[in-house]
Amino acid sequence: MYKQYLMTHITVFGIPNCDTVKKARTWLADQQISFVFHDFKKQGLTAEQITLWLEHTDLATLINRKGATWRALSDDQKQSADNVSEAIALMVQNPSLIKRPVLQIQNNDQITRLQTGFQPDLYAGIFSDTP
């Protein structure tokens, strides 16, 4: 049902106790799709990683402006999130600002797909044999 991702590396970035991350990980495991989980609270994130993501998505998509971490920021910090370099610094310092999970599919060290959040139908479309 789902195409095999030969020569690809699938990474799910998030935190393990996030319900949406749990759902994504369970869905992938149920479909027997191999992936690596990166706990960005424990393993961290670099500005370089976030910069790569921003080549495939925008700040408005990547930053979770609905969560408790966003609400806890000062007004100045919230305003700074509109500036790319300052937003990257905020996300490195507060990885929970990132919409979870981040699904990163790489082929030959190139990101070929990046998806934030989880919806079963969306993941099914990403991994489907049919276009």
Active-site positions read: 18
User: Among candidates 9, 31, 3, which has minimal Cα distance to 107?
Assistant: 9
Residues 87-104: b if buried by 16+ CB within 10 A, e if exposed: bbbbbbeebbbbbbbbbb
Instruction: Tell me the one-letter amino acid at 47.
Output: A
User: Among candidates 53, 78, 79, 57, which has minimal Cα distance to 67?
Assistant: 78
Relative to beta strand 36-39, strand 102-107 is unpaired
CA 21 – CA 101 distance, rounded (Å): 5
Match 């990980």 to its residue by tokens: 25
